[in-house]
Structure 1
Amino acid sequence: MAARFDQTPDDVRHRAGGKHRVTPGVRAHAEGDADYPEQLLMAAGFGAYGAVENVRERRENRRRNLTFFADGIEESGDSGYRGAVDFENGDGDGEVRVNRVTDDV
């Protein structure tokens, strides 16, 4: 027997909201501690300048990649909200002939 499929626009909105709740944490993690390279330079001295430059480059790459990742998560949430509205409008207008709850798959 097939599994029961029960999907509502509110379920879709809830999952989209979860995406939007995660995004600020990812963006904050992307920024990290901006003073770290300077603190490392002060602690290790100017002899570590090459290593500090590598740290700066890695941190910038990390920031850029995590920001791109956060943008993708946010877009996924936006798509969920749009999908929930389309789901409601399509079902309500009769454009899509799908029952909201069915035992038949």
Structure 2
Amino acid sequence: MVTEFDQDPGDWRRRRGANHDMVPTRLELAKNDPDYENDFIAENGYASYAFLDGYALPHLRDRVSGWTSAAVGRQNAGDNSGATASAIEDTDGTGGAAVRRSSPGV
């Protein structure tokens, strides 16, 4: 069992930075390639349009929402890490400031 609560605010801030750095790449992955749909028939023929309409386009829409959701999750994790670092620094050494309904005289 751990007897001390030993957290490093700097480590939490590094986690915040790492999570926030992942957001732009996930948003980039969420973008569709407009040339894929425009050139699909020219590259694959008219018979393959059923695949594009029935399977590929719904997948591309789901891909956008999935990667956007992943970006939002990383943004939230980074924000929470930053808030955790501040909370650790603001808590006094005895933990009295973190206890609800406590007063200095108690």
Q: CA deviation at 1:37?
A: 2.0
* CA deviations over 1:11-48 (Å, ceiling 9, x no partner): 10111110000111011012142321222222122222
The separation in 2 between residues aligned to 1:55 and 1:20, in whole angstroms, is: 30
1:32–1:5 CA distance, 2 compared to 1 (3 A): farther
The separation in 2 between residues aligned to 1:7 and 1:23, in whole angstroms, is: 25
Contact preservation (8 Å) 1:37, 1:55: no
Aligned residue type for 1:89: D
The separation in 2 between residues aligned to 1:84 and 1:60, in whole angstroms, is: 37
**What's the counterpart of residue 40 of structure 2?**
40
Which sections of structure 2, spanning at least 5 residues, go unmatched? 99-106
TM-score using structure 1 length: 0.76
Which structure has more relative contact order (CA 8 Å, sep 6+)? It is 1
The separation in 2 between residues aligned to 1:70 and 1:15, in whole angstroms, is: 15
Q: CA deviation at 1:62?
A: 0.9
**What's the counterpart of residue 87 of structure 1?**
88
The separation in 2 between residues aligned to 1:5 and 1:86, in whole angstroms, is: 13
The separation in 2 between residues aligned to 1:64 and 1:73, in whole angstroms, is: 14
**What's the counterpart of residue 101 of structure 2?**
none
TM-score using structure 2 length: 0.76
The separation in 2 between residues aligned to 1:78 and 1:15, in whole angstroms, is: 10
Percent identity among equivalent residues?
A: 29
How many residues are matched? 96
Give the greater-gyration-radius structure (CA).
Answer: 2
